[in-house]
Amino acid sequence: MSKSASGRSNLKVLLIAVAVLAAGALVAATLQLGAPDGPPLSARAYGVTGSVALARWHAAMGFRVRLVEGRPYRIPQDARLLYVLQPNARYAFAREELTTLRRWVEAGGVLALAIENEVWYPITRRGPAQYALLDESPLGTFGFDTALLETRQVTATLTRPLLAALPVGEFQWRRDNQDNALALDPPDDAVIHAQVDEGVLIASREVGAGRVIALAGAFPFTNEGLRDESNARLILNLAGLVPAGSVVAFDEFHHGARQTPSLLGWLLSAPAGLAVSLALALIGAYIVGAGRRFGRPFVMPELRVRREPSEYVLAMASLSRAAGQRNAALLRYHAWLKRRLAQPWRLDVSLPDHHFVEALRSVGASVDYDRLLRLLNDLQRGATSDAHFVRLAREVAEF
């Protein structure tokens, strides 16, 4: 392949790769800008309403983080703390799921149930508005009820900490853009930990061998809320209820994560999967651009020249000479000469040389019989030198 043709092929592949990269970047940017950060309070969401920071913080503290997702709804048996943050009414708890949740708590689990009337942002950092109505069924399962609280106060005081070792203090309870807040109506045996005016914000209750902590406010658990130090102290109160290094689970099932994770979903959604998809597309583009098309192969003009017969003769002669096969070549000449002379009269070529010459004489062949007999004897004896070999080959050619 000439340098110009090779350069054109490489340039074509480069242009295809650049085009695929540009298209992939455009599609990725469109998907990132056109899609929301994920469901509000999701442990996979990076926006202001997500809670990926909460999950990563627990992992940094030494907890083993698990996500509850994929059908059927199943809570890890080794989980000690479960966060159910703003369960969405669109993916409401079914009766059997509530039974599963209650049995897990009664077996010794700690449930942190954070709820708001609604989670709504007009626009997020990476996408359109976030909106999620509350599914209140988990509250009723554990004896809690809700009520609206009309106040613009955005801070609250933790009057009774969940752990005595952590200090009592204020935390950011609400966002400024909400007019109506949600308060708890706890049962009589519940312990109240924080309240504003007459509204209970945090209450806990023993259920079997486990414990339920209900929080009328999900803002402290969001990525935005955790920026506040007082909210971080509130989360430490919850995390301190279970042993260090234990399993902490996040309920993503009731944020819409109903499908079992698959390779295709990973390739089309996860950043690493998108990178692998783009790499596969580039490899395919390279194969299409650089691979050989179907049909007859193209032969360069300089390779179409046929070799002369003399080149093959010289090549074979050089091989025989290098191998020292002069006598073997002379024996082939001997056999070939007898076949050529015997063919017109159908004589037996296996006859000894002198009988063969006599047979030629009897049929009246016009050859020099004495010279032929001497040549056949010389061919069988072999050549003593290259010059002798060439002389004998010349005599054979004359006959």
Most confident range, picked from 8-12, 121-125, 220-224:
220-224
Instruction: Tell which residue, 367, 251, 316, has the closest CA to residue 356.
Output: 367
3-state class of 299 per DSSP? coil
Average pLDDT, the chain: 81
User: Domain limits of the chain?
Assistant: 35-261, 309-398
What pLDDT does residue 261 have? 58
C-alpha span between 241 and 308 (Å, rounded): 93
Residue 45's pLDDT band (boundaries 50, 70, 90)?
confident
pLDDT of 291 reads 62
pLDDT digits (tens, 9 = 90+) for 353-372: 889 888 888 888 888 888 88
Mean pLDDT of 221-231: 89
pLDDT tens digits along 99-109: 999 999 999 99
Tens of pLDDT, residue by residue over 156-196, are 877 777 765 556 677 777 765 555 678 899 999 999 988 88
Distances (CA, A) of 269 to 163, 164, 185, 262, 298: 40, 43, 41, 11, 43
Residue 10: per-residue pLDDT: 65
340-345 long-range CB contacts below 8 Å, 24 or more apart? 340/399, 341/365, 341/367, 341/372, 341/399
pLDDT band at 203 (very low <50, low <70, confident <90, very high): very high
Range in 13-17, 118-122, 210-214 with the lowest mean pLDDT: 118-122
Residue 127 has pLDDT above 60, yes or no: no
Inform me whether the pLDDT recorded for 2 exceeds 60. no
Q: Return the pLDDT at 376.
A: 87
Q: What is the pLDDT of residue 126?
A: 46
pLDDT tens for residues 73-93? 999 999 999 999 999 888 899
CATH topology of domain 35-261: Rossmann fold (3.40.50)
First to last CA, the chain: 49
Report the alpha-carbon distance of residue 216 to residue 239 in Å, rounded: 18
Q: Spell out the residues 6+ positions from residue 164 whose beta carbon is closer than 8 angstroms to its own.
A: none
Residue-wise pLDDT for 319-359, tens only, equals 777 777 778 888 888 888 889 888 888 888 889 988 988 88
Cα(15)–Cα(28) distance, integer angstroms:
20
pLDDT at 123 > cutoff 50:
no
Residue pLDDT, tens place only, 251-309:
999 988 776 556 776 676 666 677 778 788 877 777 776 665 666 777 777 777 777 77
Give the pLDDT confidence score for residue 250 in this predicted structure: 97
Band (3; pLDDT cuts 50, 70, 90): low
